[in-house]
Each structure stands twice: as structure tokens, then as C-alpha cells.
Chains A and B, each alone.
Chain A
């Protein structure tokens, strides 16, 4: 029960005018801005309103909180609005929006201690949700800073009149003490699998698209965003062998290539009966781990024909019969998986009737010139391999140009491309070649994915490849009786630089590499230090996603194995016990200085030590004797070697204990100096006394 008379006093101390509320308001703004993509604009507006109200109250512009009734009305309206827009948002985003909204409304009406606590807890939770959407190093640091600031506001709330510097110190010390404990818990506490299915965010799909229409595109937009990283356990394949398959397109309507609907049906049927396709595995293989960036799609990247290499990957990844890897869930955050690729196995696969049907389908109409051209070519080359060679020869003999800014080819795009413009990028070439092959009765399809990547090879680290969005590529896979499925890349014939050195090198003359983003770090690689900064950042990001984001059950067990040698239950329980002991020790360590400090303060301790020395030598300080009196007595009784240090000790003691504290300007360093002096004199005295004896 609170006394009414005391109420105003209490209020002014702990609420309304407290700077903690201002900090919380600022924090809410920052956190919701960091979720800019996910939070609705009008919710952000409400956050702004709440903040303005808080600032106005703090600065005394305005003294009335909005009434509860107004706020309730506002809350009802907002929730209705949220339900209305929530239908398109999906569950997760809806909940995040609701949380931000609740925080904003709470901020407007904070009156009591409980409100502040609720607000702070909601903000902590919001920060936690922020990690669902953003996991980059920068934003993670930002979120942890936000948590610290939240702790700071909590500290301000409970001690309103301490200045910022001391509060910062308190919170920093607390966090530094908590951090090792937190990390230890993170490393040791079991990493559980998801307990139940969680709603995923609906977000724009990024990366490759599931269909390509080469003729429609006037300029390929590129981005220097990371697509995925691959760490190789053995040798890294050479640059022109790094074809990362992602999507296979077998359906062509004369303009657009897309995934065959039949394959999709087949796959869902297979999934229903759990008949996963298993390819025949022959030849040499390469082992590697991939960490894919979020694409909000299901397909994964792999070299040639690949199979999952460990249990978890195997569980999640579905092998499709067009040798694609499909993940069970969409990649909403960074996703690690382990693969083994058989580089020569593609040619040894079974060629089914479905495959043949799908890969020979050609639209009846359009592209007449090409049809005629292929007809004559096919008549001249009866064998399949000769026919293929003749087609490829056409690309090398004619003056084809590789460009990122081709002309638009809307009608009969392949005719226009092959005989008229003769300039385009990878999908133009792939499309033209695949179509021609099909016309000549050779089964062919387009595969899109990535080609190349930036290799980082350091001495004591496994080499890794960073593949960026601008490495996106399209090529052709054709099937012949003696070669099976094999890769044909017409782009490689036209622009060998693209395949051997990457897009940057290939576009050197045209200058169209990342033309849309002139300040992209990837574009400025010729400036040496900028490039090294870029590579360093990439390295950092790699380690971050590998060790922090990618830390899972497997890695945890590896860690335990590295510590314990073998994973027996005895050793595990011993480890658990040790961890508890370590945490206990850490806490003791934090507590120790206080305990030592408290036992006696230094001034008194030194003085008492000096007195004890005299007591041993038979001189006791009488009860009635003040320090000065006793000092005089010592001067009379002992030689100068003993008495002089003691006089100084006495003086320091008196100085520290009885001098007016306000008069001493620099309190701390002064005290420290005095303590040093006392200690020195004490030792001198001890020496003199023992030598006298």
C-alpha cells in the first residue's frame, strides 16, 4: 500500500520524467526501423507518435498522457487494421507487426512500473524476432547493442539519479560478466531440433527465377549479393568445371523456358509414396559443404550430380529425377548442407521415356528460319555427335558477341538471335542451342544455376568459394546414346573469358559489369585496398555463417568429441558437472574483489598491520591514545628507522580518515597514492624492526 502523500515523490523519481522512457522510445524506433521490410508503414507511424509523445513529456512541452479511453479506441482500430492487412501478411509477419504495435501503444500510455517492465520485455522479444529476419554480422551487433541499451534503460529506471557514465560502466561490467556464461551455455546446452513446425515469413524470392525468357530482356540486372558459399574438403575443381546446377527447364513455348509441369507432378507423386529417385553413382567425387543464403525457394545448388553427404542433409534434401536437389523447406535463413558430387556420373544415368518425351518437345509454330537451318544441318550430319559439333561450330564461326545489353527480340526470338542480332548473354545462347538440338531430334534442356565463384584459399584453412548473384548462368544439357547426359555451354565458345575468369573479366571492354550499382565494392576490385577490404568482409561473413549461424548439433558433438575424446555418458555427465563448476567459479571470480574489499578497507588494514608489528615488539597502543599520541610514543621509544615510516603511516591514516572529503579534489588517485606510500613505509618499518631484533 502506498501512502498518497508520498505518491508524487515516487512518481517523479521513477516514472514519466525518467530518462529510461526516452531511451526505450529511441530503442523502439531503431528496432522497428531495422525491421523496415517486415513492419507496415502505418505501424511505424504509430511508433513515431509514441516517441513524440514521450519526448514532449520529457522536455516538458506537454504534460498530459493520452487518456486510457483514447488509447483503447486507437488499439481497437489498429488491431482491426492489422487483421485487415494481416490476411496478406501471413502469421509470422502479422505477429511481429502486432508486437511492434503493442509496444507503440504501450509507450504512449506508460504510467506505472508494470508498464515499463512490460515494454522492456516486449522489446527484448522483438529483438529476438529481429534475428529471424536479419542475421548478418552488422545487424547482429546492432541487435546486441540494442539489448545492452535496453539493460541501460532498466538500470536508469532503477537508479534515476546516477549519471550516464556510471550507468554505462555498470551495464558494461554486468554484460561482460554475463557474456562468458552465456557463450558457455550456448556451446554446451543441447542443440535441439525444432519442437514444432513454425510459420515462415513470406518474402520476395531472390536469386534465380524459375523461368527465363531471353528475348524480353534488354539488360541483365546484376547484383553483387552473395548467393552461397562452398567449402571444399579436398581439391577444388578448376574454374571452367564449376557449374552449379540449380534449376532444370524442360518446357519451351517458343519464347520462354520453364520447369516442366510434368516433373512437378511426378515429384509430388514420388513424395507421396516416398520413392526417392536414386541416381547411379560412379567415378570420382568431390566433398564439400554449402552455406546457402536465404532464397525463399526450395531448390539447392550442387556441382553436377550430387547426393547429400550426412544424415541431416539426407533427411531434408529430396533428390529429383532431373538430378536437382530440393529442400524440404524454403530457405528463409542461411542454410548449411553437405554434399558429395560425382563429376562424371551424369553421363551414366538411365534415360527414361519421360525424359525423352520432355526433352524433345518443340512448339509447332514460330522460328521458321531456325527450323529450316537445322533441317539442312541434320541432313548433312546423320550422326548425333557430328550434328552437335556442326551446331557448335556455327557459334564459333559466326561473329557472335557476348553482351549484357542485347537488343530486345520479341517475335521469333531464336531466329532473330541466330541470324540477325547475334549478340546476347548466356540464356540467349543456351536457349538457341537447346531449341536447335531438339529440332534435330537430340534431347536437350536448359539448366540454370551459377558458374564460377571467387576462390579464397588460405594456408591453414579449407578453401572456400564465394558465389555471387552475378555468377548466375544458363547452359544446355543434351543426351546422346554414347555420351549420355552431357553439358554443352555455347557461352564458353563465344566468350571463353566468362567461363575461365568470370563475368568481370568478360565484360571488361563493354563496362557493363554491375553497371546498375557503380559503387558496389565488387565493381571496384582494381583498387587494391578496397578489394582487400571486400575480401576481408567476405572472409568475416564466411566465418560468421560457418561458425556462429551454422553451429548445430553436429558441430556441437564434434566439439564435445574434441574435448572429451569419446562420447560416453560418464564423460558427458562429467562435462556437465565441469560446466556448472566453471560457471560457479566465474561467479565467485566476479564476487571476489568485493569480498576482499569489504573485509577491511585498505587504510585501516595498513594501519592495523603497523600496530600489530609494534605489539609483537611489546609496544601496545592504549585505548585512550590517539594515533598522534601513539606516534609520539613510538618516536621516543624507537630509533629513527622505525619511527619515521610510522609517523608517515600515521599521517596518511589521519589524512585519509579524518580530512574533510569535500576538500580533496581528486579523491581516488589521492587515496591510491596514499595507500602506496603506506605500503612502502610499512615494509621499511618491518625491515627495520626485524634487523633491530
Chain B
């Protein structure tokens, strides 16, 4: 079973390699009579039997006409499906256990004359046994192509941190008469990284990069007045937008940003504590995850308040900085933190 599955996967990878844009054609479209198509053929056969037994030519004509419809539908179905072209859009950042909404742009720049019709079903392939499937039903997103707005958001539940493993997306349609099912399994190339889910906790900033002593030098973050307003300053590109004094802007005094007094003084390091080590392997892994989650929360919080901080994960170190790009770098580092190499 798995062998066949692997072979199929390999074959698919060869036939439909990952890309950020797919135009459907004979290379990547599969077509086969749907269940209804099979029953339809059965109906034709019944009509033929009835028509022959009653020597009724009109019934035979009806039967052959329906057979003709069946044949012609093969092309109609294919032609319609071959008008699809999909492009993956820019994904928002996503944390573990979140539903990632992957934006897909369907026929975004197609030409007016070639209109796609019907209902499309979007679904991610799942490699699960039936038992598991019952527990976590994967969703089908149905899109009425004649009445939708780009982009289509397809939700995907992210379970693990790190680089997202996106299974193939199955798009299928039975337009126009439901006699044939056209489908395709598309793989999208993407750079989506799932960050550890933030776990609310106290913010611990360490003065030094290296852990010199146990916990003596750590600055307890007593930021009761951390957003105390001190003065206004001309806005510089890169400063967080939430520091912009919008009221001033509205008054026509240009972009000025609010400066806060207590923040600038505190530069510190976020550090992955080694407390997770020890104990059994499973608990170690769990502890590591919670630690990473906590760090994730801290990174987000500190970035929100525009503080400067560094991140020390042992294997990787990120020098103190601030701004949204720094935040991203830190979160990525947390997401890609390899627990095996750390424990070794």
C-alpha cells in the first residue's frame, strides 16, 4: 500500500512539479466518469433493453442521444477545467495550531472570452488512515466560480512548527452535467514557516548574551510605565506604524512618531533556558516546545512595544535589534530551532 503510494507520489512529483503558478492542461488534468456518470450509462443500457424489447425506435433514439451527451461531455468537462489557472498568493504569518488561510488567485489575469464555470472543490490531500480521518476531517472548500472574489482562502491546519509541509492540493469539478469528474493534484512551491504558538508569560530579558550566572543579572521587566510618552520626533521609515501620532498627521503636521521614555534604555537578550533538558525524551520535547512558545510570545510582545532585544538559542544567535524584520528573523529562528541537534 505504502509502496504504491510512494510510487504514485514520485510519479506525481515528476508529472506535476511544484510551482507557484499552475495552468491546467493535459499534463496535469485527470478525468474519469463520476459515479453519476456510471449510473447514467446504466440508465442508457436500461433504455436500450426497454427500447429493444418494445421495438420502440424513439426510446432507442433517446438512449443513443443520451449516450452522445455522455461522449460530448467528456470534452466539455475537460475544456472547462483546462481554463483554470491558479497562483498561490502571499500567506500571512501563522503559528502552530492556527488555521492558515492560503490565498489562491484563480484566473486572476484571464481573458474575458474564456470563462470558467461551475463549482470547484478544493481539498488538501491527506495521508491518513481512515480512523484518523474520522477524528480530523479535512475540509473541502467549495467555490462557485461564477460568483466568487479573488483570492480564494483555503484553510490548512498547521500542526508542527518549522517549514510547512503542504500536501498536494486537489481541485476537482464535475461541470457541466456531473457525468465526469475532472481533477488535478497541484503542488505549490512556497516559503511558509509556521512559528511556535505564543504562550503568554513573563518577559525575561537577560543583560548578557552568555549565561554567566544563574539568574542574578536578569532584568526583571517591570514595565509598568513602559509606554510613558516622552516626546514627538519626525517619523523615520522602519519605525512601527503604531507609534505614529495620527492625530498630529490629521492636523496636518506631517508624520511624527511618539517616543517613549522607558523603552530605549533596556536592551537585553531572550534566552532559551536549559531547564527543559533532563527527564524523559518525550517530556524534554514537550518542555522545549513550551519554552519556544514562551519565547515566541516574548518576541512578539517586545516587538510590539518596539524594544530592542537579541535572541540566543545556543546554536543560533541573533544580535539585538528592533523592527518588524528583526521580529520575523527571530520567529523564524524559533520555528526552525532543531531540537535534536540541541539535545545532542
Contact = CB atoms under 8 A, between A and B. Distances in A.
Interface in B120-147: 133-134, 137-142, 144-147
B242 interface: no
A537 to B, nearest CB: 19
A170 interface: yes
Given A129-B50, A154-B177, A181 B72 contact: yes
Contacts of B112: 661, 667-668, 671
Interface in B49-89: 49-69, 71-76, 79, 82
Nearest to A661: B112
Contact of A182 (B67, B113, B139, B145): B67
A510 B82 CA distance: 74
B39 interface: yes
Contact of A3 (B52, B69, B133, B137): B137
A103 B114 CA distance: 38
A174 interface: yes
A175 B69 contact: yes
B139 A124 contact: no
A601 B67 CA distance: 33
Contacts of B175: 158-159
A94 B3 CA distance: 54
Interface string B94-123: 000000000000000001111001110000
Contact of A549 (B57, B75, B114): B57
Contacts of A76: none
Contacts of B73: 174
Given A132-B56, A144-B62, A333-B54, A117 B178 contact: yes
Contacts of B246: none
Interface stretch (A359-367, A428-436, A464-472, A589-597): A589-597
Interface string B140-183: 11101111000000000000000000000000001111100000
Nearest to A166: B117
B176 A590 contact: no
Interface string A550-587: 01100000000000000000000000000000010001
B260 interface: no
A413 to B, nearest CB: 44
B64 A158 contact: no
A178 interface: yes
B234 interface: no
A660 to B, nearest CB: 12
Given A6-B140, A128-B62, A158-B119, A178 B57 contact: no
Contact of A127 (B62, B82, B145): B62
A186 B134 CA distance: 49
Contact of B144 (A127, A135, A161): A161
A6 B79 CA distance: 28
A2 B133 CA distance: 11
Identify which of B40, B58, B67, B177 gathers the most chain A CB atoms within 10 Å of its CB.
B58
Contacts, number: 186
A45 B134 CA distance: 44
A645 to B, nearest CB: 23
Contact of A121 (B40, B50, B58, B117): B40
B71 A178 contact: yes
A548 B57 CA distance: 7
B113 to A, nearest CB: 7
Contact of B65 (A121, A154, A179, A196): A179
Interface string A352-390: 000000000000000000000000000000000000000
B113 A671 contact: yes
B113 A591 contact: no
A670 B117 CA distance: 23
B119 A128 contact: no
Contacts of B32: none
B19 interface: no
B47 A182 contact: no
A135 B59 CA distance: 10
A128 B47 contact: yes
Contacts of B119: 13-14, 158-160
A125 interface: yes
A131 B59 contact: yes
Interface stretch (A187-195, A249-257, A291-299): A187-195
Interface string A660-693: 0100000110010000000000000000000000
Contacts of A131: 51, 56, 58-59, 62
Contacts of B75: 587, 590-591, 594
B47 A147 contact: no
Contacts of B47: 124-125, 128
Contacts of A397: none
B30 interface: no
Chain B interface, DSSP helix/strand/loop, else mixed: helix
Nearest to B25: A598
Interface string A259-293: 00000000000000000000000000000000000
A180 B40 CA distance: 20
B146 A178 contact: no
A67 interface: no
A140 B58 contact: yes
Contacts of A175: 65, 69
A1 interface: yes
Contacts of B174: 158
A194 B51 contact: no
B72 A177 contact: yes
A205 interface: no
B176 A549 contact: no
Given A131-B59, A157-B178, A161-B146, A185 B54 contact: no
B176 A158 contact: yes
A44 B209 CA distance: 87
Interface in B209-233: none
Given A121-B43, A183-B64, A186-B60, A198 B140 contact: no
A151 interface: yes
Given A5-B139, A6-B139, A671-B113, A159 B63 contact: no
Nearest to A176: B72
A155 interface: yes
A526 interface: no
A461 interface: no
A196 B50 CA distance: 10
A664 to B, nearest CB: 9
Given A13-B142, A189-B64, A601 B111 contact: yes
A180 B145 CA distance: 31
B54 A177 contact: no
A159 B55 contact: no
A594 B78 CA distance: 10
B72 A6 contact: no
Contact of B72 (A195, A198, A549, A587): A587
Interface in A119-165: 121, 124-125, 127-129, 131-132, 135, 140, 143-144, 147, 151, 154-155, 157-162
B8 interface: no
Interface of B: 36, 39-40, 43, 46-47, 49-69, 71-76, 79, 82, 111-114, 117-119, 133-134, 137-142, 144-147, 174-178
Given A121-B39, A186-B61, A192-B52, 5 more contacts: A140-B58, A158-B176, A160-B144, A178-B66, A196-B53
13 contacts: A3-B137, A121-B40, A128-B59, A155-B177, A159-B144, A174-B76, A178-B72, A193-B52, A194-B55, A196-B53, A333-B55, A594-B75, A594-B79
